[in-house]
Structure 1
Amino acid sequence: MAEYKHGEMDITVQQKTFNGFVGAVKWSVVAIILVLIFIAIVNG
């Protein structure tokens, strides 16, 4: 097995996946908050 050297692995795919996940979570939270506000206004 090759010796491990910190910082040599190409992680661009993992970074894109993580950034996509964070973006999806962020927009999901925004959508949920908007839906809850809408429900609160309509039920008012």
Structure 2
Amino acid sequence: MAEHKHGSMDISAQEKTFEGFITFTIRTVIVILCLVIFMAIFNS
């Protein structure tokens, strides 16, 4: 079995993917909230 040293792995790809996921999630939530507010205001 290979020796494993904690913290030695390059995780830049995982960090970039996670950052993209968080950005996408935040933007999606904002759009959904805007749609809900729009529907609440203009739905008579």
Unaligned runs of 5+ in 1: none
In the TM superposition, what is the alpha-carbon distance from 1:23 to its structure 2 partner? 0.4
What residue in structure 2 maps to residue 30 of structure 1? 30
Q: Percent identity?
A: 50
Give the match's secondary structure for 2:41. helix
Q: So what's the TM-score if we normalise by structure 2?
A: 0.92
Unaligned runs of 5+ in 2: none
Give the match's secondary structure for 1:37. helix
What residue in structure 1 maps to residue 8 of structure 2? 8
What residue in structure 2 maps to residue 41 of structure 1? 41
